[in-house]
Amino acid sequence: MSDAQKSIRKKERSTRLAIWMAARSSRNRTFLDRMCRKMIVKATAVDPAKDFMRDEFVDNDQGFDPDELDRYQRGEKVIASQ
């Protein structure tokens, strides 16, 4: 067996294992199901410092209050003195 074939078989086994783990983790009935879920969550978690999708407005709780959002959606102009 050549190195390319070994590499392909290794990728196939890891893919089968990942699919099996995803199926087990979605059941969440037994201890093994919960362990699979924890491993998948740990493997797919993104480090907050490296997460390019983070939004500073959301993290710092800056944004529209409900009244501002309602006025914006109705198309009202914001008065600068408020």
Average pLDDT over residues 12-29: 92
> pLDDT higher for 80 or 46?
46
DSSP string, the chain: --HHHHHHHHHHHHHHHHHHHHHHHHH--SHHHHHHHHHHHHHHPPPGGG-TT--HHHHTT-S--HHHHHHHHHTPPPPTT-
* pLDDT exceeds 90 at position 49: no
pTM above 0.75, yes or no: no
Length in residues, the chain: 82
Could you read off the pLDDT of 59-71 as tens digits, one per residue? Answer: 776 667 788 888 8
Looking at the chain, the whole-number percentage of residues with pLDDT higher than 90 is 45
Cα 41 to Cα 61: distance, rounded to the nearest angstrom = 26
Cα 1 to Cα 31: distance, rounded to the nearest angstrom = 38
